[in-house]
Amino acid sequence: MRTPVRQRYGTWFDFVAAMGDLDDAEADVLEAHRAWFDDLLRTNMSRSYKMVALDVLLDLDALHDDVSVADLAARCRQRMRSDPVLTAELAESASDDDKAFAARWRTHPLRVFHQAKGFSQRWFALDDDRFVSQLEVAEADREVFDAMTAELVDFRLRHHLSRRRYIADVLPLTAPIALRVSHTRGNPILRFARDRRPDLPEGQVEVQVDGRPFTLSFRKIAVNVASERPGGPNVLPQLMRRWFGPTAGQPGTHHVVELQRVGDAWLLRPRTDHAEAEVIPLGQVDYYRELAVA
């Protein structure tokens, strides 16, 4: 008697549950391309970019071909803009034209595929301005392979969105994002929790501060650099101390700034209900040049 698929593929439970029972043709394709499906099931999805790229390739019927990076990026951008949660995750810069966005999309996720980060092998490659499939699937199996891939891509995207959808339900995407003023090596920085607000931008982003444009560098958990021009000096400490005084971000303070998306622009302003740290005055101590005299 044939062993049930779920027993033969113990780690595939979620995949099989999402797809339903597999017929013989699907089971054969699954067996032949287990590494591919296993990678799709396991690859990290802190962002939806990889699955969106695959979803668009499937729509273009180009999963086994090559496609223009610019065309793929444009279609992926359109796909993400069609969903409010994905739109927040897109974190576009106001200055992103089609060419700039294609350059960003080439870096992530297309270069991630090219370098096989989080994958068992390279399934796609970058060749100049083309994104090239390196999947090796027999012509007779491609219809079933593509249908199974589409099922799993849809499963990963739905699961990803379900974990982030509650944020869109509870918080309007226009609600200000609170960034806590902290410090490192004595200088103020801005810390945040990206898992709570996935609409936080990433990378170098133009932000309006007191009516002037600054470029802020949004890292994984903090902003520690702000400049008035590309390659310029870091003025974030000066900005925070101008708003909150010399103790900005120091232990015992509760300084907060708010980041808000207004149209295509990001605005940063201080929250005015912060509490100042208590300054404890110390008495004067006499000074003696020589220890013996002291």
Q: How far apart are CA 120 and CA 103, in angstroms?
A: 25
Compute the average pLDDT of residues 106-113.
95
pLDDT at 196 over 60: yes
Tell me the angle at which helices 49-59 and 69-81 cross, rounded to the nearest 10 degrees.
110
257 forms beta bridges with 179, 270
Reported as a pLDDT band with limits 50, 70 and 90, residue 274 is very low
Give the residue, 98 or 145, on which the prediction is more confident. 145
Show me where the domains of the chain are located. Answer: 5-168, 177-270
Placement of tokens 């990001």 in the chain: 266
Q: What is the pLDDT of residue 294?
A: 61
Query: Could you give the CA distance from residue 190 to residue 214 in angstroms, rounded to a whole number?
Result: 15
The residue ranking higher by pLDDT, 281 or 42, is 42
**CA dist., res. 260 & res. 173, Å (int):** 9
Q: Between 23 and 228, where is the model more confident?
A: 228
On the CB side of 35, CA atoms within 13 Å amount to 10
Return the pLDDT at 13.
46
Confidence of residue 27 (pLDDT cuts 50, 70, 90): confident
Q: Name the pLDDT band for 93 (thresholds 50, 70, 90).
A: low
The amino acid that residue 222 corresponds to is: A
The mean pLDDT of 124-150, rounded to a whole number, is: 96
Amino acid 140: pLDDT? 96
What is the Cα Rg of the chain in Å? Answer: 26
pTM of this structure: 0.56
* Distance, CA of 244 to CA of 238 (rounded, Å): 10
User: Is the confidence at residue 4, as pLDDT, over 60?
Assistant: no
